[in-house]
Chains A and B, each alone.
Chain A
């Protein structure tokens, strides 16, 4: 579904991705692991089109998208839950969700709004509250809900558990599992490698802008190098 070949990207003269190749098949959860600064966020930003690619190819359902502006990629069916949530903090919960559906001029937006509120009932009670006034966990749910409003086929999640209490981390991971069962394809960036590999089908390890390993989640969990480097064992 998503095929990345030899992608290079950087900030100014500093290259952050030195030729990254990643495949994500329809219906999979693929985990992207790696230390801080390895290039995980840059990769997701390049897929969404908010970070330019200097070389290589990104294909989504066999269509080249690496030169396409960000808003057209959302319309094609790629939504991102960015690192640090990036909500529209002065706007209400409901407005954040409605803007999530910006690329769809469809009439069934009300139904999707109801579906997101059914998924995250606490957001329903807060629908007129400014997003900036929500707790960290609520904000993360809103960020996921906002991405869902775009009706994506591919969802990119960047560190969804960052800064959350363990019980909320479980809840977010359960939600991601539910999304997979509903047929969505997911590319997940996580610091918490154990948790990510527990729900993922496959995983890639990225180190200093290069893919250093790519295997099934079970194989990665068993790999002694991964164990010592990312699983703290």
Chain B
């Protein structure tokens, strides 16, 4: 029982990060039909920029803010110089562009930073909290709380502001969005910026637990993608549930089978979803009358 609880907690912690990566996929996919495989690099940038600025003597909160800003700028540049210039290209081409961008960013990170693993000090120390025989790292709660805050802010923004509605409108019908005068380049660019910022936040929150290095993005992107598929690509709610579910599945596989199988879970999930339920658990239920 204590074991089950332990695995669940660690699964939810990692799952919260997968959920944020999946959310980034969803935001960009909805706005532009692009599956952005450099989503994982935003997470890497969040961790690495914070680490290196902190090493250079910048106070941690400021370092984290600058990391968010860096990732956001990279997200905007990705949209402006890689996606926007290939406007009209088909989905496969756009996916290859994002994979190229991901390799490029990894290469730059390897040169600018280094190839070693780095950590950050946890926000509230290393002493685990005991609960029902399981031990929870305080940083796990920080990760989880961070994910919840991001979700609430994002939901409030999308649902309660006209600009948020314009982002939804762009996702729902780009032609109509242009016809009412929405500058869709701006709303799509905004989606890239927000996805990058969310990735960066996930990056520095998780670094104290899982460490970071220039190449963590690849696997994270694949897992975030698996989570988005599981939840139903295009559904923000599905992305969050899919992320948490994938995290728990991974923790169970690692705990009850072998930790060597941990990374295989995401790929098995992708296969099973594609075979059994391609629209995912919460695939977009369209309210539409033709």
Contact = CB atoms under 8 A, between A and B. Distances in A.
Interface of A: 48-50, 69-71, 73-75, 79-80, 82, 86-91, 95, 98-100, 102-103, 130, 132-136, 139, 146-147, 150
B85 interface: no
B130 interface: no
Give the interface centre of A75, A87, A90 by most chain B CB atoms within 10 Å. Answer: A90
B172 A88 contact: yes
Contact of A70 (B169, B172, B179, B287): B179
Which among B169, B176, B181, B184 has the greatest number of chain A C-beta atoms within 10 A? B181
Nearest to A72: B181
B165 A132 contact: no
Interface of B: 162, 165-166, 168-169, 172-173, 175-184, 286-289
B286 A98 contact: no
Given A130-B287, A132-B288, A86 B181 contact: no
B289 A88 contact: no
B169 A88 contact: yes
Contact of A103 (B175, B176, B181): B181
Contacts of A136: 289
Contacts of A87: 173, 176
Given A71-B183, A75-B181, A98-B165, A132 B286 contact: yes
A80 B287 contact: no
Contacts of B286: 89-90, 132
A82 B287 contact: no
B179 A82 contact: yes
A88 B176 contact: yes
Given A130-B287, A132-B286, A99 B165 contact: yes
Contacts of A133: 287, 289
Given A82-B175, A86-B175, A87-B176, A71 B289 contact: no
A132 B59 CA distance: 50
Contact of B181 (A88, A134, A139, A150): A150
Given A86-B173, A132-B289, A48 B168 contact: no
Contact of B172 (A48, A91, A98): A91
7 contacts: A87-B173, A91-B169, A99-B166, A100-B180, A103-B180, A132-B288, A150-B180
B176 A86 contact: yes
A91 B179 CA distance: 16
Contacts of B168: 88, 90-91
A50 B173 contact: no
10 smallest beta-carbon distances between A and B, as pairs:
A74-B181, A103-B181, A86-B176, A132-B287, A70-B178, A132-B288, A71-B181, A88-B169, A71-B183, A88-B172
A167 B61 CA distance: 65
Residue among A70, A82, A146 facing the most chain B CB atoms (10 A cut-off): A70
